[in-house]
Chain A
Amino acid sequence: GQNIDQPTEMTATEGAIVQINCTYQTSGFNGLFWYQQHAGEAPTFLSYNVLDGLEEKGRFSSFLSRSKGYSYLLLKELQMKDSASYLCAVRDQTGANNLFFGTGTRLTVIP
């Protein structure tokens, strides 16, 4: 089976940096995705990691360690609009590009 864990909720201050962790245990691995989802809206793609290391994209960075089954999403210079749920999803190598989602981390940015 697949097991993907994320913290349920986090709070951070505007302008600060926050790190959202994700650990996974899957039967296969073919990439890890991070999505942002605002309440009542569909997820939007943020990042993709398939090799170990850090991928940086503007204020957002994502890190992967396959040996540890671990990833994190790093958000810098937090803005109020960053308040959203952040979903970690793993692609199962044996599936037809199926994604298995964690429960998501609800981030609240406060002034």
Chain B
Amino acid sequence: GAVVSQHPSRVICKSGTSVKIECRSLDFQATTMFWYRQFPKQSLMLMATSNEGSKATYEQGVEKDKFLINHASLTLSTLTVTSAHPEDSSFYICSALRGGPSATQYFGPGTRLTVL
């Protein structure tokens, strides 16, 4: 299979604090991972592409200094939401790219972030 884990699954924090979310590919190596955000009843919006050993590529409108991404190994990428505010409350989902002919993205279970 292709298993991707995400931790934590749910986090509640106070405004102004930072939150780190981990994404791990458990049974394959992923040089590329992706971070998405999903608001209720909306589709996934790509935030950034995480590349192992190099800087992440951010989508237009996503603040790189607010959403820090680190892809230190072939199985782990982290997203840190710095100085979180209530408007950052959302469902954050990572995916890991598994190579091959179809090069399919496999998604983690998501992290529900609530900022008070």
Instruction: Give A residues with C-beta under 8 Å from B.
Output: 31, 33, 35, 40-45, 48, 50, 87, 91, 96-104
Contact = CB atoms under 8 A, between A and B. Distances in A.
Contacts, number: 53
Interface of B: 2, 6, 32, 34, 42-46, 49, 51, 57, 91, 93, 97, 102-110, 112
A48 B105 CA distance: 11
22 contacts: A31-B103, A33-B105, A40-B110, A40-B112, A42-B6, A42-B109, A43-B107, A44-B107, A45-B104, A45-B105, A45-B107, A48-B102, A91-B103, A96-B32, A96-B49, A97-B105, A98-B34, A99-B105, A100-B46, A101-B43, A101-B44, A103-B43
Contacts of B97: 97
Contacts of B45: 101
Contact of A42 (B57, B93, B102): B93
A79 to B, nearest CB: 22
Nearest to A44: B107
